[in-house]
């Protein structure tokens, strides 16, 4: 494909994709920040000079195929 030959079509398609993307993103509601439900989890996520922040990742375990 000769990119120079099809540059106008590439430009028009790019504008159409960007316009559709902006329209889609503008229709998504804005996030609403709220304080955490429990104080214990909030305290563990804050790093201070003497302690490190703790991150707990939990995922379901898959059965082993042996």
Distance CA 2, CA 20 (A): 26
For 3, the domain range is 1-29
Distance CA 10, CA 2 (A): 11
Please give the C-alpha separations between residue 23 and each of 9, 15, 29, 64, in angstroms, as whole numbers. Answer: 21, 12, 12, 45
Q: Is residue 15 part of a domain?
A: yes
pLDDT at 54: 75
Give the count of domains, the chain.
1
Q: Is residue 20 part of a domain?
A: yes
Closest CA relative to residue 35, chosen from 43, 26, 25, 27: 43
pLDDT at 22: 93
pLDDT at 44: 55
- Tens of pLDDT, residue by residue, the chain (66 residues): 677 888 999 999 999 999 999 999 888 888 776 765 655 554 556 667 787 777 778 888 888 876
- pTM of the predicted structure, to 2 decimals: 0.42
pLDDT at 17: 96
């Amino acid at each position: 494909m000769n990119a120079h030959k099809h540059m106008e079509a590439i430009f028009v398609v790019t504008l159409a994709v960007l316009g559709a993307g902006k329209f889609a993103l503008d229709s998504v509601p804005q996030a609403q920040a709220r304080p955490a439900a429990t104080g214990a989890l909030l305290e563990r996520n804050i790093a201070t000079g003497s302690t490190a922040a703790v991150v707990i990742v939990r995922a379901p375990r898959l059965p082993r195929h042996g």
